[in-house]
Structures are given as C-alpha cells and as structure tokens.
Structure 1
C-alpha cells in the first residue's frame, strides 16, 4: 500500500513538471545554475567539507554537468535528499538532476518515469556487523536486528534474502545514512545493510573501523547512476554524454592535467578530437559550446581521477575498481562511440 501511494504521488508530481521539463536546459541556463540532488551525507560520495563545500564521487558528476553547461563547475546548487524525498524532488522539478547512490530498477525507470543516464558505480548490497558479534556470514544473522534506510531498494532485497534462506530478522528503520550509522554504533541493531560501497564509506568514518567487518555476501545487483525526469530527451542526452565523456576520457588518456593541451589542436585520434570539440559539431547537437567536454573533464578529471580521489584504494574508504574498471581492464565501464 505504501509503495502504491508513493508511486501515485510521484506520478502526479511528474505530470505537473512535464511542461517545464520539455525545456530543462533553457530553464537551467536562465536560472544560472544547475540544481543537483545529492545524498544528505556519505563520506566519499557526497558531503560538505569543513568549509561547507560539497565534495565526493557523485558531487563531481554534478560539477561536471555544470561545467559543461556554464564553463563553471561551481554553477551548481546542491540539494540534500533522503531515500524517501529524492524522487519527489526530481519529479516536482525542485532539482534538475539526481546524483546520489540510486539504483536503476524497472519500476523507477518505467513507473516513476525517470531516465537513468547511465551507471557510474556498479555495486551490490552488503552487511556491516561488529567484529565482536562473531558472525562470518549473513546467513548467520537469523533473528538479528538490521538497520535499513526506508524508501530504498535495499528493503526488498533484505526481505528476499532472509526469506530465501528461511531465516528471520527485525528491521530498524532509518531515514538517512547518518541516522543509520548512529543507530548501529549505539547498538540499536546487530547489522547495518545498504550498498557495499556505502558501508565501506560509513565504516571509514568510525573511530575504530577494524572493530567492524563487511560480511562476504553481496545479495543483489545495484547499478547506481544519475537520473533525470522523463519528458525531456535533450536534457537526458546532455547528462548522459557528460558522463560518457568522463568515462571515455579515462580510456583515451585524457586527464584534467592534459585536456587543455590536447584540445588546443586536433590530435591524430578522431574520437579524441570529437570529444574535445576540435572536430565535428557535437557541442551544438547538445545545445552546448564546442568545448563542453573539455570543461567537464577540467572540473574534476576523468572517471578514473574522480574515483581515485574520492573513494579509491588510497583513500580512507579504500575501494578497488573491481567491476568499475574500464572494459579494457576487465571491468564493466564501456561507452558508446563518439561519432
């Protein structure tokens, strides 16, 4: 019943935003900034620093889009959203783009009327438990209390996993990652479950991270990616190809350090030239300047630079590339050609 009411509310919000969504780029340009929905706070993915400046893996996608449009990575207003408020914020037009650990699913795409512009992190749902609990497998959590964020796909995954393994659990509902972390550390739940990347990010902020362990089971596929409203294919295309440009740039050796030099004159690689605007009219096709991708890559680097700076193995979060490596390195990252 709860999901039916939510979907109905979002459908009505989507209808009210439909007329405006047909010219999202025009609205964004007239406003002078991008309104980007982000997480309320998740280390490495999206959180304000000590000076209140937003930073993180998903935040950098927002900045790349702003840079592509305005030539200014700071022409963006960050709007914190929870698992329950994010979709209403997007459907209603409060935000232009949602970039916060959101799983691409059938119902969100088809019923809620959103366009996922791609996958920027291939993930899966996991479990975090205190080492002192003595648990080595999620299948040992029979009768456990589990902290879980409401309004997320993890709720259903959790129910499916426990039912499939004929074990029981008691959910402890939380609204945000910060609340989940607080409840977990206070002992209100035996385990905390969400995307494995989010658990690693949360664990990295603990005073004693070694006192907590990620269990080996990954119980779902969680392709995470930015999304926009249905009804404006041009806007979806713009955001999709900014993300593609960041991914392709890594494969082609274009970095924040060399992008200006590579864009100064045509190279001997036609695809590099098309991305950087020295060949073809690709910017104009998106309603942007020829150097749109140069600006996007200059903002925070290519996909690999963004990954390593925010969540990579040399950060406290320490995530390996894994599935998020380029296809040439055994991962799943692969963009359509710029041609």
Structure 2
C-alpha cells in the first residue's frame, strides 16, 4: 500500500472516530432531558425525619427537604406533585445519587470537602445546623463535657460519627459508642436506656424528641455544638445545567422571602413594578431560558411551596412541632446566613 493510501485511510479513520465521539456527546441525555422524558423527579430523602422528610400514614411526604424537591419539580415539570420519593439510609444516599438511582438528594446531608470532591455537587444549604447531644434529664447532665466515659448512640455512615470521635479526643475525654445504621433501631436503643446520650444534628434531635421520644419533656438537648453542619441538597458532578437549575430554584425561594413574595400573593406580585421582582417572576428578562426552562419557573416554585421563610416555619419553625428558632437560617438582613445572589 502506498504512502498516499495510508494517509487517506488514516484520515478516514480519524473522521469516523471524531464524528462518532460527537454523535455520542450529542445523544447523551442530560438530567433535565431525563426528568422531562420521565415526567417525574426522583428525589432521595430520609427514611423518616420529622420536619425534613417524613411520610404520614397515607404515604404523603412532608418536610423541608421534601419541599425542595417539590419546588424543583414545579420549576422543571410545572407540577410539584410529579416527584417520586426514594427513602435512603445514611449509608445508601450518596451511592444512590452517584449511580443515577435518583436525580437529586435532599436528605439532611452535610456539605464537606471529601464528599464534594468525590463526584458530588452541593447546592446552597437549606439548613445551617450543628451537632450536639441529647440526654435524659434524670441523668443530671447539663454540659457535654460531663459525658466523660459515657455510652453514646451514634448512626454509622454519617459525619456525626467522625465528629464525635474528634471532639472527645480534642477534649481528652473517653466514650463508648453504640453504632447502628438504621435510625429507628438506634433510637430504640437510646430510649431503652442502652446509651447515656444520643448525638446528632440539633434539628434531628429536635425532631426525634418531638415525634419519637416516649415522653418528650424527659429529654434535654445539651447547649454545646461540636461541629458545623451545613445541610444541603446534592446533585452529581458533570451536569452543570442541572446543578444551575436546582441551585437557582433554591435562590429564588430565598429571594422571594426577601422581596415579600409568598405562595398566596405571587400571582399578584407579577404586577409589581420592582425590576428585581419582575425578573424573578418572569415578567421581564429571560432568566428561565438561560437555565433551559421557561420564564415562569420561579413563579411556579414559589406558588408550590412558598418562600424559604414559609417553608421553614411550616416544617421546623414555630408553626411546627420542632419549634426551632431561625438563628443562622434567618435572612442576611436579619443577621442570618441566608443570602441569594442577584437574579439578573
């Protein structure tokens, strides 16, 4: 075969490889395409945590994390009810997301460097939390530093387990861990008296005390917070458009609270002449089109679940059994950390 023939064959092969690669890239479905084609959002949630994701006797899911998925479904599919909730344990949750079993994980998950660097993208935190300890009042303990030598119930597969060991080591204290994967089994052990203390995020302990404790008034949450726990929804690496959609849906709920837009008045607010409100609700600009959605994406999300403040109060705030203070989860204008970048 002549040199010219070799060159011609090499050129043809290169062309075929290149076009095959382009074809494969073009045909690869994005998460947005997949969700729209399915007509349903697959949302990973806790197996049951009051205030965040919890099914009732009819299987209806409610909670702050549940509302996140409802908002995304409303923005993308036009219907907050087009969600299938996938209950996941702490050990199952990240694998389920990475394997494609779910489209978004909204399950009181702490944002850490290790998790972020291992094929995951965290969205803005929906709850700034901290780890603490809950004990029976009869134990007579008023500070975590009185737990030297205590037996402590902790769930495996969580940052809680690591924080517990770090804090006791740093304070030259000792403990004996009772480590169980299933939360219901862990709580049964704690309330049966197998452990002196139960450790978890403050929000989870408040939910447990309100909904699981046999006598809620018999238990107290100690004042110390031994960690930072920014709880955030999670999506997979590699699909920037989907990350942007979910991220800006959350920001839209924060912006709505700051602008006084609620589930009840959002339609009326389309007549508001404030340019910030007009852009948010799709009256002007092409904010939605930039995300691959229509321009009423944020209006639908707000109408479905309310603004962030409404979500908070309904699920974990003063209007809920948990009765948690806003604290760090207040708007930045009220001394909190909740802050939406400009929607413009």
Task: State TM-score, norm by structure 2.
Answer: 0.90
In the alignment, is residue 116 of structure 1 matched against residue 139 of structure 2? no
What is the CA–CA distance in structure 2 between the aligned matches of 1:20 and 1:144, rounded to whole Å? 57
Specify the SS of the correspondent of 1:68: helix
1:150 paired to 2:156: yes
Instruction: Tell me the residue number matched to 1:248.
Output: 255
Of residues 324, 333, 336, the one that matches 1:319 is: 324
Backbone CA RMSD of aligned residues: 1.4
Give 1:268's match in structure 2, choosing from 260, 273, 292.
Answer: 273
Matches of 1:58 and 1:131, distance apart in 2: 30
The answer for the alignment partner of 2:337 in structure 1 is 332
Give unpaired runs (5+ residues) of structure 2: 1-24
Give yes or no for contact 1:21–1:229 (8 Å, CA) kept in 2.
Answer: no
Please list the CA deviations of residues 224-246 of structure 1 after superposition, one character each: whole Å capped at 9, or x if unmatched.
Answer: 10010000000000000000001
Cα offsets for 1:71-93 (capped at 9, x unmatched): 11010000001110000000000
Q: Secondary structure of the residue that 1:259 maps to in structure 2?
A: coil
Aligned to 2:190: 184
Is 1:83 equivalent to 2:90 in the alignment?
yes
Counterpart of 1:39 (choices 43, 46, 63) is: 46
1:207-218 matches, within 5 Å, as 207-218=214-225
* Partner Cα distance (2:249, 2:319) in 1: 26
Say which one has the larger Rg: 2
CA–CA distance in structure 1, aligned partners of residues 88 and 193 of structure 2: 26
> Could you list the runs of 4 or more consecutive aligned residues of structure 1 that deviate by over 3 angstroms after TM superposition?
18-22
Aligned equivalent of 2:58: 51
* Structure 1 unaligned regions, length at least 5: 1-17
Where does residue 125 of structure 1 map in the other structure? 131
- Counterparts of 1:321 and 1:53 in 2: how far apart (Å)? 26
How does the TM-score come out when normalised to structure 1?
A: 0.92
In structure 1, C-alpha distance between the alignment counterparts of 2:127 and 2:65, rounded to whole Å? 10
Alignment partner of 1:159 is 2:149: no
In 2: Cα distance, 1:189 partner to 1:172 partner: 7
Q: Aligned residue pairs: how many? A: 319
1:280: how far off? 0.5
Compute the displacement of 1:20 (Å). 9.6
